[in-house]
Amino acid sequence: MSLFSFFTRGRSAPVARDRLQLLLAHERALGGRSGSGDLLAVLQQEILAVIARHMPIDRDKVIVRLDRGDGVSTLEIDVEMPDRAPARN
């Protein structure tokens, strides 16, 4: 470890470059370079609209989340279904 840090000491620029390349590749893929924030908001709205067509749902009960991993990224859509009873009766 000390040998490793001896050689890498002061050479943080390649790390910065690699981190940026990885991150920006993700952000561009998701948002057409305009960032993932917009895409997630759009996804959330459209998913909400589709579900709302078929059942009453609470706007706050649809959660769209993105997790970025080294190898795999996941898009998680969490919809809490409404209680059946009040909807039917």
Partner 1 sequence: MSRVMVVTSGKGGVGKTTTSASLGAALAQMGQTVVVVDFDVGLRNLDLVMGAERRVVFDLVNVVQGDAKLAQALIRDKRIDSLSLLPASQTRDKEALTEPGVERVIDELRERFDWIICDSPAGIEKGAALAMRFADLAVVVTNPEVSSVRDSDRIIGLLDSKTRRAEAGERLEKHLLLTRYDGARAAGGEMMKVEDVVEILAIPLLGIVGESRDVLTASNLGCPVPLHNPASAAAKAYVEAARRLMGESVPITVPGERRGLMSRLFGRRAAA
Chain residues that interact with partner 1, rule: CB under 8 A: 10-14, 16-17, 19-21, 23-24, 27-28, 31-35
At closest approach, how far in Å is the CB of 3 from partner 1?
17
Residue 62: both structure tokens together: 């649809």
Q: Which is nearer to partner 1, 16 or 85 (CB)?
A: 16
The Cα–Cα gap between 87 and 52 comes to 13
Closest distance to partner 1 from the beta carbon of 27 (Å): 7
57: CB partners within 8 A, 6+ apart: 48, 51, 79, 80, 81, 82
Least distance to partner 1, CB of residue 89, Å = 47
